[in-house]
Structure 1
Amino acid sequence: MIDAHVHLWRIGQNGCTRPTSDMTPIYRDFSLDDVRQVVGPADVGQVILVQSQENQTDTSWLLSLPRDSLIAGVVGWADLLEPDAAATIGRLASNPRLRGLRPMVQDREADWYDMPELDASLAAMTALQLVLDALVRPQHLPALLRLALRHPDLSIIIDHAAKPIISDLSAWSEQIDLLARLPNVACKLSGLLTELPRGAPADAVAPIFDHLWNAFGAERLVWGSDWPVLRLAGDYASWLEQCRQLVPSTHHQAVFDSNARRIYGIQE
């Protein structure tokens, strides 16, 4: 089984500026050994490490970690708007661990993905078979749809289901349906608990899951924990079990393992 969304960081090192001290449950270093202690009892054999900082230092650190069978791959960061971004992407991709890139768009303008300056970077990613991890909110989905149409051979996976607002899923659901019609777009079952309003029960994510399941189906949903950020809202074992209950057992192999391997190009 693969956890497709795990973070590591060292506070104040490797370009780490987040989390901040007010985020008490996660304001400490998290190492691969910490991950091992959490995923081992859950029978998770590999994880995809995802950048948490908007700089090259963090990505270089993740790519330079000692070889370990727990690491299935790395989703890093690069400035996709730099004039020489394609060369930077090529250099990063020379490390076979790199399986994708994640621009941190969640707090950017709604039309960020419309910028034509991105096209050369996205073409380079497509040529190198790198996945675009889309860290976005619902207001970014129309531009992400236009990007997916412009780059039909670019593999895109929507992180945290685009952080839907549980009290108003109408616009989100319409855009998700449009994106799900495109074969190059997939979605992560990750980060949903931390987006719930304070005090909301964990099962409040059920209508979100139901919509994602109907839109993407069993072959384009990928499970991820978003650990250790998950600690702000829940624990690893409970989130995994909740998703196991939501996903029909006949599709566990796909959602919890083989979809991630196929989308990110990870060998057995």
Structure 2
Amino acid sequence: MRIDAHHHFWHLAARAGHWPPATLGPIYRDFGPADFEPLLEQCGIDGTVLVQSLPDSQDTGFLLELAERHSFIRGVVGWADLKAPHAPQTIDALARHPKLKALRPMLQDLADDNWIDGPALRPAITAMLANDLAFDALVVPRQLPGLVAFARRYPGLRIVIDHAAKPLIAIRQLEPWRSAMNDLAKLENVHCKLSGLWTEAPPETDFAAFEPYVETLFRLFGTHRLLWGSDWPVQRLATHFGGYAGWLAACEKYCDQYARNEDKDAVFGGNAYRFYRLEE
């Protein structure tokens, strides 16, 4: 089973004042299942994980409603205010939906790099563990030390790093990103998504610029803890490198290059199926 472990849907009418801005023409419109299903059929993708893109409970409700109506959506990563006094009750209620598989605070937008590591989160994380929910970590490189501390604090929590923590490919900076990712990869509860890399570099970037980052991910996480995702429709911002099919083909080539004798199918479905506890 092939799984796209990371994509989005949105209605602009519900996003007033939020990203994306009108200047991002390729993604400044509504995106829904009718736009996406032809790509899945073309590329032989059997199911997907739909991920929140607003820190808003109504957005999570919208995604869960879509998941009820479209069987290809195997799981939803939602949002909840994890530091709210009522967070455990909110999480318990969300977890009653069979397709709610994980929660994602939008950490990359927070000024406090250590927001994630502190006792204020404990009631919410306890509720997530009790409901067998995973944690999507949307972080940037400066936030990785805080994520390391958080992951050590909760070794029983399944954590996946979205978009490989958005390394600074545009300026070809490997450190301290690589060292922090090495620390995270030593923790067995931490996984990583092979997604979102093309949109971290300008159009003039050559393909060789991506290779040190991809090689690092395969070396650190292996094929047993990497999950392939498209990050569609955000991926449309990088069509100068290739569309949906192009990103999939590039990642298949990376897998051939860096994981010659390992279980490549796991990267493109098996790991997502296991990590998110997806249903057939």
Identity across the alignment (%): 46
- SS at 1:186's partner residue? strand
Whole-angstrom CA distance in 2 between matches of 1:195 and 1:44: 24
Q: Paired residue for 1:242, among 243, 250, 254?
A: 250
Could you say which residue in structure 2 is the equivalent of 1:259?
271
Could you say which residue in structure 2 is the equivalent of 1:216?
221
Q: Paired residue for 2:209, among 179, 204, 218?
A: 204
Q: 1:105-128 CA deviation, whole Å, 9 max, x = no partner?
A: 112121111232111111111111
Gaps of 5+ in 2: none
The CA deviation at 1:201 is 2.3
The CA deviation at 1:88 is 0.4
Q: Paired residue for 1:188, among 193, 207, 210?
A: 193
Could you say which residue in structure 2 is the equivalent of 1:83?
85
Whole-angstrom CA distance in 2 between matches of 1:203 and 1:52: 30
Mean Cα displacement is larger for which, 201-210 or 104-113? 201-210
Q: 1:80-110 CA deviation, whole Å, 9 max, x = no partner?
A: 1101101101111110110001100112121
For the 8 Å contact 1:14–1:58, the answer to whether it is kept is: no
- For residue 263 of structure 1, what is the amino acid of its counterpart? F
Could you say which residue in structure 2 is the equivalent of 1:128?
131
- For residue 8 of structure 1, what is the amino acid of its counterpart? F
Q: Paired residue for 1:151, among 154, 160, 164?
A: 154
For the 8 Å contact 1:10–1:16, the answer to whether it is kept is: no
- SS at 2:31's partner residue? coil
User: How many residues matched?
Assistant: 268
The CA deviation at 1:68 is 2.1
Cα distance change, pair 91–15 in 1 and its aligned pair in 2 (3 A): farther
The CA deviation at 1:252 is 2.4
- SS at 1:113's partner residue? coil
Whole-angstrom CA distance in 1 between matches of 2:230 and 2:208: 16
- Within 5 Å, which residues of 2 pair with 1:1-268? 1-13=2-14, 17-65=18-66, 66-108=68-110, 109-166=112-169, 167-234=172-239, 235-248=243-256, 250-268=262-280
Whole-angstrom CA distance in 2 between matches of 1:201 and 1:70: 34
- For residue 247 of structure 1, what is the amino acid of its counterpart? C
Gaps of 5+ in 1: none
- SS at 1:133's partner residue? strand
Whole-angstrom CA distance in 1 between matches of 2:65 and 2:56: 15
Whole-angstrom CA distance in 2 between matches of 1:129 and 1:104: 20
The CA deviation at 1:160 is 0.2
- For residue 277 of structure 2, what is the amino acid of its counterpart? G
The CA deviation at 1:15 is 7.3
Whole-angstrom CA distance in 2 between matches of 1:39 and 1:202: 25
- SS at 1:106's partner residue? helix
Mean Cα displacement is larger for which, 149-158 or 192-201? 192-201
Whole-angstrom CA distance in 1 between matches of 2:12 and 2:109: 22
C-alpha root-mean-square deviation of aligned residues, in Å?
Answer: 1.4
- For residue 216 of structure 2, what is the amino acid of its counterpart? H
- SS at 1:170's partner residue? coil
Whole-angstrom CA distance in 2 between matches of 1:129 and 1:33: 31
